Amino acid sequence: MLEKKTTDLESAVLVGVITQQQKEDKVQEYLDELEFLTYTAGGEVKNRFVQRIDLPNPKTYIGSGKMEEIAAYVKEHEVGAIIFDDELSPAQQNNIEKLLKIKVLDRTGLILDIFAQRAQTSYARTQVELAQYEYLLPRLTGMWTHLERQRGGIGMRGPGETEIETDRRIVRDRISLLKKKLKKIDRQMETQRGNRGALVRVALVGYTNVGKSTLMNVISKSEVFAENKLFATLDTTVRKVVIGNLPFLLSDTVGFIRKLPTQLVESFKSTLDEVREADLLLHVVDISHPNFEEHIASVNETLKDIDSVQKRTIMVFNKIDQYEHELIEEDDLVTIKTGKHFTIADWKRTWMERLGDNAIFISALNRENMEEFRKRVYNEVRDIHVSRFPYNNFLYPENLDAYSEDSN
Ligand SMILES: Nc1nc2c(ncn2[C@@H]2O[C@H](COP(=O)(O)OP(=O)(O)OP(=O)(O)O)[C@@H](O)[C@H]2O)c(=O)[nH]1
Ligand SMILES: [Mg+2]
């Protein structure tokens, strides 16, 4: 019963809700992301359902009318799973499963599934497994009910309860075992980090799929796995990078996402230690994404969770090659200029007003503006290094241009 199964998502329908706080166009954008997540998990989205609700229905999250509409659709078409953009309570998940008789997932479950598929090292696998069991624990009752249906309910309740208790105990034991295992690996990793000595530490952070690994590959000439799917990177990679003749450590780590499941933040805490212990953050943003400003806010939320929001940070706006803006015709006097009409130059002006030279615009893919980027990182790393080792001052010129020939 506790065997982990990879979810078969071949065809799925998505559900989102419109609320006071969540307007219709936002819901569609969120569902776009959920569709991308589904695709990353290996699924294909057949249809989307959206409902306007004031309060979620405690039994089925959405209202009964919408539920009937979905049930009719599911009956007509081959649908393997229904995926909700919001977190369902274990009871809701269970009720909906009973009604539709297909797999019911929420956003958290889907993200956990992707993490499970993508975890490569035993460290990442242990972290994901821990998160999965923590997600599973309150849902065990539901899983039992599911069995009850197969076996025919009457008379099963007594032994059922005991079995739930047994399962809970197994899961709890497993959780504490995994926690112990992680602690042991953590101690080893801490020692490793400690051995790295006095080098300045720089961490790439950002929303998933913004180009962190691509940028890492460009600066460190290494080969880190990058692809156009979410959560390509789960483990942290650390490379020694030299700009001019100044060496520092650069780490690439797991991408963040809106409403990152708390179980995952918890169990990935030690992966995120690399971020927590960094001297400088490079916050990479995909400026070609229509929601990039919201992505920045989500990333800052997660940084807050790991006490890293106050760190020195350079905002790196990536994918300028792919950026497109909407035009306002010259004779159009009605349309008000908003973010989507901004050119890259407009965005530069806005962000530089806010952050000065802590905002940089590049294309990691086309290597655009990489010189400026490297100079900026050099200056910042040098500054940190020199403040730590003032007697090293003479080693590194104040300006990268001082190097007649770049060694990197
Ligand atoms: N057009 C364009 N695409 C880019 C650029 N940088 C990266 N990409 C693409 O964006 C996709 C994601 O890149 P990754 O480097 O894997 O992104 P990541 O931030 O490491 O993603 P996760 O590890 O999944 O969080 C890949 O398809 C890259 O080729 C860029 O400057 N311009
Ligand atoms: Mg990556």
Q: Would the pLDDT of 390 be above 60?
A: yes
Domain identity same for 87 and 206: no
Domain total in the chain: 2
Domain identity same for 267 and 366: yes
CA-nearest residue for atom 6, ligand 1, is: 211
Q: Select from 95, 118, 141 the last residue of a domain.
A: 118
Report pLDDT for 4: 46
Average pLDDT of span 289-311: 93
Give residue 43 CA to ligand 1 midpoint distance, Å. 21
Question: 316: Cβ below 6 Å to ligand 1?
Answer: no
Mean pLDDT of the chain: 85
Domain identity same for 90 and 221: no
Domain identity same for 371 and 258: yes
Q: Select from 118, 147, 181 the last residue of a domain.
A: 118
User: 47-56 pLDDT, tens per residue?
Assistant: 999 999 998 9
DSSP conformational letter for 207: B
CA-nearest residue for atom 11, ligand 1, is: 228
**Residue 111 is part of a domain; what is its CATH number?**
3.40.50.11060
DSSP conformational letter for 61: B
Most confidently modeled range among 129-133, 136-140, 316-320: 316-320
Report pLDDT for 157: 45
User: 231-242 pLDDT, tens per residue?
Assistant: 777 777 888 898
The reply to whether 339 falls in a domain is: yes
> Which residues are part of a known binding site for Mg(2+)?
213, 233
Q: Would the pLDDT of 110 be above 60?
A: yes
Which tops the pLDDT comparison, 196 or 70? Answer: 70
Instruction: Point out the ligand 1 atom lying closest to the alpha carbon of residue 255.
Output: 25
The reply to whether 162 falls in a domain is: no
Instruction: Point out the ligand 1 atom lying closest to the alpha carbon of residue 229.
Output: 24
- Say if CB 216 and CB 318 are below 8 A apart: no
DSSP conformational letter for 287: T
Average pLDDT of span 151-177: 69
CA-nearest residue for atom 13, ligand 1, is: 211
The reply to whether 138 falls in a domain is: no
Report pLDDT for 393: 67
Q: Select from 62, 94, 118 the last residue of a domain.
A: 118
Instruction: Point out the ligand 1 atom lying closest to the alpha carbon of residue 234.
Output: 23
Average pLDDT of span 70-86: 94
**Pick from 164, 162, 144: which is nearest to 153 by CA?**
144
The reply to whether 407 falls in a domain is: no
Select from 111, 207, 209, 220 the residue to mutate for testing ligand 1; criterion: most ligand atoms less than 8 Å from CB.
209
Instruction: Point out the ligand 1 atom lying closest to the alpha carbon of residue 216.
Output: 15
Average pLDDT of span 116-122: 84
Report pLDDT for 149: 44
**Residue 250 is part of a domain; what is its CATH number?**
3.40.50.300
Question: 318: Cβ below 6 Å to ligand 1?
Answer: yes
Q: pTM, whole model, 2 decimals?
A: 0.84
Question: 373: Cβ below 6 Å to ligand 1?
Answer: no
The reply to whether 301 falls in a domain is: yes
Q: Would the pLDDT of 3 be above 50?
A: no
Domain identity same for 229 and 88: no
Report pLDDT for 155: 43
pLDDT band at 317 (very low <50, low <70, confident <90, very high): very high
Ligand lying closest to the C-alpha of residue 114: 1
Instruction: Point out the ligand 1 atom lying closest to the alpha carbon of residue 226.
Output: 16
Lowest mean pLDDT among 142-146, 175-179, 289-293, 335-339: 142-146
Domain identity same for 274 and 389: yes
Question: 363: Cβ below 6 Å to ligand 1?
Answer: yes
> Which residues are part of a known binding site?
206-213, 231-235, 252-255, 318-321, 363-365
Torsion of CA 281, 287, 288, 289, to 10 degrees: 80
Report pLDDT for 162: 65
Domain identity same for 209 and 101: no
The reply to whether 190 falls in a domain is: no
Question: 317: Cβ below 6 Å to ligand 1?
Answer: no
Whether the complex's predicted ipTM surpasses the cut of 0.90 = yes
Ligand lying closest to the C-alpha of residue 208: 1
Identity of the residue numbered 141: T
Domain identity same for 84 and 221: no
Any residues with CB less than 8 A from the CB of 25 and at least 6 apart, and which? none
- Which structural domain, as residue segments, surrounds residue 210? 197-402
Select from 220, 299, 302, 365 the residue to mutate for testing ligand 1; criterion: most ligand atoms less than 8 Å from CB.
365
pLDDT band at 227 (very low <50, low <70, confident <90, very high): confident
- String of b and e for 79-110 (b: at least 16 CB within 10 Å)? bbbbbbbbebbbbbbbbbbebbebbbbbbbbb
Q: Would the pLDDT of 96 be above 70?
A: yes
* CA separation for the pair 378, 361 (Å, rounded): 16
Question: 227: Cβ below 6 Å to ligand 1?
Answer: yes
Report pLDDT for 258: 85
Report pLDDT for 154: 43
Which tops the pLDDT comparison, 222 or 274? Answer: 274
Q: Would the pLDDT of 1 be above 50?
A: no
- Quickly tell me which residue has 């060694």 as its tokens: 407
Give residue 215 CA to ligand 2 midpoint distance, Å. 9
Instruction: Point out the ligand 1 atom lying closest to the alpha carbon of residue 364.
Output: 31
The reply to whether 175 falls in a domain is: no
Identity of the residue numbered 179: K
| Helices of type H across 62-211 | 64-76, 90-100, 107-118, 122-136, 140-151, 157-194
Domain identity same for 286 and 398: yes
The reply to whether 4 falls in a domain is: no
Domain identity same for 244 and 354: yes
Question: 407: Cβ below 6 Å to ligand 1?
Answer: no
Question: 214: Cβ below 6 Å to ligand 1?
Answer: yes
- Say if CB 110 and CB 41 are below 8 A apart: yes
Cβ count within 10 A of residue 280: 19
Average pLDDT of span 71-91: 93
Average pLDDT of span 37-44: 91
